[in-house]
Amino acid sequence: MLKAEFTRTLRDFTLDLSFQVKDGEILALMGNNGSGKSTTLNIIAGLLAPDSGCIRLNSTMLCEPAEGTHIAIEDRRIGYVFQNAAVFPHLSVRDNIAYGLRARNISRPEITGRVEQMMELMHLGDLEAVKAGNLSGGQKQRTALARAIAIRPALLMMDEPFSSLDVESTIAVKALTRDIVKKMKIPCIVVTHRETDSREIADWTMVISLGKREWEGRPPDMPRNCTVCRCQ
């Protein structure tokens, strides 16, 4: 389970959020551009530090400025898929998926096993030797997801994962994401600004505006008169 409660002063407003995501649950983080969605993910990942508060993932305190706690990015066990997928273009699909496993000094036979498993799960088998720079948008997103999942993260975060995908790829990536989160029983945060994404993938939705929670609840309950929620 992820429990986050933090503040961070940004240029135009203060990001002040408190929320939790249970194991096997997907939280859709919604809001207009510049509302603080990606910053929230970056704070949880450790790329940015909060000014105050604390972030706890299962029994591990990731960050608590008052106590001087700040676990290094590489030690947080967070699978983070960026908006542009950020697949390493100079590496093959196989090497992309194996990257985190090699960085964590996992044994070779285990790396091979996990990579095979990921490629099968993400339907990437026939692309294993292809340089990731040559993949289509959907293939890149699936590779990025496979790479993030391969390290067996304790939390999965995805920043606008469907924004550059065609309809077919969007359906496929959404189904895979839901499937993985439920199977692995890990919390997941998906940043999106489309209500349809929230309805189709999330168990819970939180809408933020200028760093503050505007609304939260089950996706079908999203109020029709909420202008911030209807931001697509």
Q: Which stretch binds other proteins (CB under 8 A): 27-35, 61-69, 78-86, 218-226?
A: 78-86
**Nearer Cβ to other proteins (71/210):** 71
Which long-range contacts (C-beta less than 8 Å, at least 24 apart) are formed by 66-71?
Answer: 70/46, 71/46
Query: For residues 206 and 21, is the Cβ–Cβ distance under 8 A?
Result: no
**Nearer Cβ to other proteins (142/147):** 147
In the bound complex, what is the minimum distance in angstroms from residue 102's beta carbon to other proteins? 9
Selected from 89, 113, 125, 223, the binder of other proteins by CB under 8 A is 89
Tokens 């294993």, located at residue: 128
Task: Please tell me the distance from the alpha carbon of residue 63 to that of residue 122, in angstroms, as a whole number.
Answer: 32
Q: At what angle do helices 137-150 and 167-184 cross, to 10 degrees?
A: 10
Q: Which stretch binds other proteins (CB under 8 A): 55-63, 67-75, 122-130, 170-178?
A: 67-75
**Nearer Cβ to other proteins (188/207):** 188
Query: For residues 168 and 200, is the Cβ–Cβ distance under 8 A?
Result: no
Beta strand residue intervals within 65-139, DSSP E: 69-70, 78-81
Q: Does 100 bind other proteins (CB under 8 A)?
A: yes
**Nearer Cβ to other proteins (108/230):** 108
SS3 of residue 94 by DSSP: helix
Other beta carbons within 10 angstroms of residue 34's beta carbon come to: 15
Selected from 151, 188, 189, 206, the binder of other proteins by CB under 8 A is 151
Count Cα neighbours of 72 within 13 Å in the Cβ-side half-sphere: 2
Q: Does 104 bind other proteins (CB under 8 A)?
A: yes
| Residues, the chain | 232
For 167, phi then psi, to 5°, come to -60, -45
**Nearer Cβ to other proteins (74/120):** 74
Mark 128-147 with x for binding to other proteins (rule: CB under 8 A) and - for no binding.
-----x----------x--x
Q: Which residues are 3's β-sheet partners?
A: 20, 56
Selected from 9, 51, 60, 103, the binder of other proteins by CB under 8 A is 103
Q: Does 76 bind other proteins (CB under 8 A)?
A: yes
Given the rule CB under 8 A, which residues bind other proteins? 42, 45, 47, 73-76, 78-80, 82-84, 86, 88-90, 99-100, 103-104, 133, 144, 147-148, 151
